[in-house]
Every structure is written in C-alpha cells, then in structure tokens.
Amino acid sequence: MADGRDALEFAIGTGRVALPLSRTGVRVDGIELSLDMVDRMREKPDGSDLQVIIGDMSRATTGRTYGLVYLVYNTIGNLLTQDDQVQCFKNAARHLTDDGVFVLECRIPAAPARPGHQFVDVEEVELEHVSLGVSQYDAVSQILDCNHVTIGVGGVILSPIRLRLAHPPEFDLMARIARLQLRERWGGWRCEPFTASSWRHVSVYERVRCGDAINPHGSKTISRATDLAADAS
C-alpha cells in the first residue's frame, strides 16, 4: 500500500483499534475466537468491511502475510500455557512479510510481588455500589485468577477472568523460539522509554536474519497503530 502496510490484529474483538486504523487507509484483517465479539464489531460503521477469521489466535491463519501483526490489551494472557503463548509468537511470525513486525502490548505483572499471592483491591466506591478485585496468583503455573466483584443494592455481580502472566524477558525468549528478535521496547504507546518503573511494555519484534544487525526503521502503519492504541487506552 502506498501509505501503509497491511495489518493483522490478533484478538480483534469489537474492532476498538482495527476500525480506526482501517479508516486511515490501512487494510486490517483479524483473528478472533469469539463470534459474539465479531458480531458486535459488524454492527459498527465499517465493521462489515474487515476480513475476520474465527479461531484461536495461536493457530488460526488468514493465508496471507502482513507488514504488521499486533496483539494489545494484555490479551496474550488469555492463552493459559507457556506453550500456547509460544505458538502465538510462531503464528505471528508465519503471518509476517520478510520486513514485517509483531507488536505486543502487555502489563508488567504485579501479582507475583503481592504477599501471600492472595489479595483484594478496591476498584471503585460509590454511594450505591462498591467494586473489588479479588485475586489469587499461582506462582508455579503463573496463572492469575481475578474476580471483579460488584456489590450493590441490586445484588452481587461476579466477573471472573483468568490470565497467564509473563515478564518481558520471557516474551523475548518466546520470540527467539519463533525466530523473531526484539527490535525495540517502549513504556507506552507514545514511545515513552521503558524503565524499571514502567507499568506496561509495547514490544516490537522482527524476523531474525543470519548475519544482520537489528536495524530500526520507521513504518507509517506502526506509527498509526501506536497513535490509535494510545487514544484507545
């Protein structure tokens, strides 16, 4: 494309990032496990224009390659084993053009440092309801079980989620297994420096080329995607 390379979003969901990106002229395809989420995207303006494969992002394929594959909002944690997360990196690599990149956004895990690995966080306090995050972390499996509990005058609502947590160095090793290497890492979508105090990371991986040094170079598509993700976060 004249003004940006084709892009593929893993776990495209309701199109929160993909739709605005597509409106800039970039072709965006998606892979999504939940048909309900895709149906919600189809109800939005331009939502029917995107090509989406229903399936597991660690294994499903569109049959095409892209200059940009991206996975945001901690969604890699929905893959609950290390092997499945490795397979996700391998699937991203299979979908990349020779000069393409895989962009991953994820929080830095905080649960491993919490005493006892069981904790309750107050998320919201209002006159008629309170919301709590009740969590338990298994250091062996690296699984975090978190239940967002809303207690109100109308009753109790439970919203559970299960994630496998990983730190950036583990993701970097997954990338190496998939024949990818880290090009750069930021502390946010505005390209903030990644430091010890960063609460999240945006990591950019590229193909490993024998004898080649890492050569950072700009991409209009990547720049647009980071701007849109920053606006959405």
pLDDT tens readout for residues 58-72: 999 999 999 999 999
Domain membership of residue 1 (yes or no) is: no
pLDDT digits (tens, 9 = 90+) for 100-137: 999 999 999 999 999 999 999 999 999 999 999 999 99
- Starting at the edge strand found earlier in the chain, the sheet holding 28-32 runs 51-54, 28-32, 7-10, 66-71, 96-107, 200-207, 180-186
Beta-bridged to residue 125, according to DSSP, are 130
Q: What is the mean pLDDT of the chain?
A: 92
Task: Tell me what the mean pLDDT of segment 5-23 comes to.
Answer: 97
Q: What is the CATH number of the domain that holds 136?
A: 2.20.25.570
pLDDT digits (tens, 9 = 90+) for 34-56: 999 999 999 999 999 999 999 99
Domain membership of residue 117 (yes or no) is: yes
Give the pLDDT of residue 218: 41
Residues 100 and 138 in one domain: no
Lowest-confidence region among 10-14, 94-98, 182-186, 214-218: 214-218
Residues 182 and 193 in one domain: yes
Give the pLDDT of residue 209: 82
Residues 90 and 135 in one domain: no
Counted domains in the chain: 2
Contact 38, 55 (CB under 8 A): no
What is this structure's pTM?
0.88
The two three-digit tokens of residue 56, written as one number: 């597991």
C-alpha–C-alpha distance, residues 102 and 81, integer Å: 20
Closest alpha carbon to 61 in 100, 96, 85, 14: 96
Lowest-confidence region among 12-16, 165-169, 213-217, 224-228: 213-217
**Domain carrying residue 128:** 111-163
Domain membership of residue 119 (yes or no) is: yes
End-to-end Cα distance, the chain: 27
Domain membership of residue 2 (yes or no) is: no
Residues 189 and 102 in one domain: yes
Amino acid, single-letter form, for residue 222: I
Domain membership of residue 89 (yes or no) is: yes
Closest alpha carbon to 96 in 204, 11, 188, 16: 204
Residues 117 and 63 in one domain: no
Give the pLDDT of residue 4: 75
Locate tokens 């090009």: which residue? 183
Q: What angle do CA 233, 11, 191 make, to 5 degrees?
A: 35
Asked if the model's pLDDT at residue 215 lies above 70, the reply is no
Residues 153 and 174 in one domain: no
C-alpha–C-alpha distance, residues 10 and 82, integer Å: 17
Amino acid, single-letter form, for residue 161: I
